[in-house]
Amino acid sequence: MNVMQQIVDGVSVSSSLLLVALGLAITFGIMKIINLAHGELIMVGAYTTYAVNTVAKLPFFVAVIAAFVVTAIVGALMERFVLRSLYGRPMETLLATFGISIMLQQIVRILFGATNKAVISPISGTLTLGNIVIPYLRLFIIVFSILMLLLTAYILFRTKFGMLVRTVSQNRSMSDCLGINTSRIDLLTFSFGAGITGVAGAIVATLRNVSPTMGIEYMIDSFLAVVLGGVGSLVGTAIGSVIIGEASQLLTFVGGEIGARIIIFVLVIIVIRFRPEGIIKLESR
C-alpha cells in the first residue's frame, strides 16, 4: 500500500477541510456564534459557482468572487435580521441558525430544482512524482487554502479592521465606550466569515456534485476541526484540519473509510472532553 500517496492525499483532504472550516473559525472561533447554517453557506457558494460558471459560462475565478459576494450578503442578512438580537444567547443562536439552514436549503431547491448540479473542474491533468500522483486541481486547492489562511490571518492581525474585530470580540462593552461601532463590526465580521465559507463552497463544488443537502457533512467536519484545533485560533483550525484530514486518509488502513470516520469522531470527542479549549490554547486571564 502506497503510504506516501495516502499522506499526500491527506494533505489535499486537509486543505479542503481547512478551507471549509476557515469561515467557521471566524464566526464561531472569534464571534462565538454557533452557526448551524454554516453548511448551507457552503451550499450557497457552490450553487452560485454553478450559476456563474456552468450556466452563465463565465470563468471560474469570476464564479469564486461571485460566491464570496453572494454568501457575504446572505451572511450580512442573517446577522442583521436574526443573529444581532441573539448575542450572548448561544442556544437561541443555534436554534435560529438551524431554522435558517432549513430555509436556505428549500429556497435553493425552489430556485434551482431538485436535481443535482455539476461544476466542471477548472483545472485538469495530474502531476506525477515517482509513484505519487497529484491532480493539479488538488494541488491548486492546497495552495489556495494556504493563501486563504494567510489572507485571513493578514486581515485579522495586520489591518485596522482586523484589530477592531479582535477588540470587539475581546471586550464588547469596552469597545463601545471607545466609540467603536460594534454592531457594524459584528455585521462585517460575520459576512466576511460567510463570504470565505462561500468561496470554500465554490472550491469543493469542483470535487463533487452540487445539491441542496450537501452542506451538513461539511458543517459537522468544520466544527470538529475548529474545536479540535482550538477555538479562536486560526493556527488551531489549520492544525485541526490537518489532523482530521490525515487521519481520515491514514486510518483507512485500519478500519476502511467508515472505520476511519468513527475513530476520528471518538478521538475528537475525547479531545473536547479533556481540552475544551482545543489543542492550541489562547493564553488569557
Partner 1 sequence: MKQLWKNHTVSLLLLLYLALTPMFSNAFGVELTGKFIVLMIFAIALDLVWGYAGLLSLGHAVFFGLGGYMLALSYSLQKGVPSFMARFQITEIPLFMKPLTSIPMAFVLGLVLPSVIAFVIGYFIFKSKVSGVYFSLITLALAKLFEMIAINNQAYTGGFNGLMGLPRFPIGGKPMELDSYYYLVLAIAVVVYLFAHWLMNSRFGKIVKSIRENEPRIAFLGYNVAHYKIFVFVISGFISGLAGMLYVPMNGFFSPNEIGLALSTMIVVYVAIGGRGTIIGPAIGAFLINLLQNELSEQYPAFWQLLLGLIIVLVVLFFPKGIYGTLQEKLGAWLAQFRLRREGK
Partner 2 sequence: MRKTTIRLFVILLVSALVLVGCGNKNSGSSSGEDGIKVGILLSSSGPTALIEAGMIKTAMMAIEEINENGGVKGKKLIPIQEDYAGDPSMAATKAKKLVMEDKVTAVLGTFTSASRQAVLPIIEQNNSLLIFPNLYEGEEYSENVIYTGPIPNQGLEKFIPWLVENKGKRFFFIGSDYVFPIVMNNQAKALLEMHGGEVVGEEYVPFGHMEFASLINKIKEADPDIVFSTVVAESESAFFKQFHDYGITADDILIASPIPTENDLAAMGPEAGKGHVVIQAYFQSVDTPENKKFVENYHKKYGNEPVNTQMEAAYYSIYLLAAALEKAEDITDTKQIIDAFAGQEFQAPSGKIKVDEENHHTHLNYYVGVGNLDGQFDIIDKYDPVRPEPWSKLLYPDHEEPWKK
Q: In whole angstroms, what is the distance from residue 38 CA to residue 60 CA?
A: 23
Of the pair 114, 129, the CB lying nearest partner 1 is at 114
Q: Binders of partner 2 among 112-151, rule CB under 8 A?
A: 113-121, 124-126, 133, 135, 137-138
Which one of 82, 146, 207, 272 is in contact with partner 2 (CB under 8 A)? Answer: 207
Using rule CB under 8 A, residue 38 touches partner 2: no
Give one DSSP letter per residue of the chain, joined into a string.
--HHHHHHHHHHHHHHHHHHHHHHIIIIIIT----TTHHHHHHHHHHHHIIIIIIS---HHHHHHHHHHHHHHHHHHHHHHTGGGGTT-HHHHHHHHHHHHHHHHHHHHHHH-SS-EE---S---EEEETTEEEEHHHHHHHHHHHHHHHHHHHHHHHSHHHHHHHHHHH-HHHHHHTT--HHHHHHHHHHHHHHHHHHHHHHHGGGSEE-TTTHHHHHHHHHHHHHHH-TT-HHHHHHHHHHHHHHHHHTHHHHHHHHHHHHHHHHHHHHHHH-TT-SSPPP--
- Closest approach of partner 1 to the CB of residue 6, in Å: 21
Using rule CB under 8 A, residue 52 touches partner 2: no
- The separation between CA 148 and the C-alpha centre of its own chain, rounded to angstroms, equals 11
Which one of 7, 56, 85, 209 is in contact with partner 1 (CB under 8 A)? Answer: 85
Of the pair 126, 159, the CB lying nearest partner 2 is at 126
Of the pair 138, 261, the CB lying nearest partner 1 is at 261
Which one of 61, 62, 90, 120 is in contact with partner 1 (CB under 8 A)? Answer: 90
Residue 154 binds: one of partner 1, partner 2, none (C-beta under 5 to 8 A by kind): none
* Contact assessment for residue 67 and residue 148, using Cβ atoms and an 8 Å cutoff: no
Which one of 71, 101, 152, 249 is in contact with partner 1 (CB under 8 A)? Answer: 101
Q: In whole angstroms, what is the distance from residue 193 CA to residue 111 CA?
A: 24
Of 9-17, 153-161, 181-189, 268-276, the window that binds partner 2 (rule: CB under 8 A) is 9-17
The closest alpha carbon to 239, from 3, 7, 14, belongs to: 14
* Contact assessment for residue 237 and residue 220, using Cβ atoms and an 8 Å cutoff: no
- Closest approach of partner 2 to the CB of residue 109, in Å: 7
- Closest approach of partner 2 to the CB of residue 9, in Å: 4
Binding mask 233-252 for partner 2 (x = CB under 8 A): ---------------xx--x
In this structure, which amino acid lies at residue 89?
R
Which one of 32, 80, 109, 166 is in contact with partner 2 (CB under 8 A)? Answer: 109
Q: Binders of partner 1 among 253-272, rule CB under 8 A?
A: 258, 261-262, 265-266, 268-269, 272
Residues that bind partner 1 (CB under 8 A): 34, 82, 85-86, 89-92, 94-96, 98-103, 105-107, 109-110, 216, 220, 223-224, 227, 258, 261-262, 265-266, 268-269, 272-274, 276
Site residues (CB under 8 A) for partner 2?
Answer: 1-2, 5-6, 9, 12-13, 106, 109, 113-121, 124-126, 133, 135, 137-138, 206-211, 213-214, 217, 248-249, 252, 256-258, 261
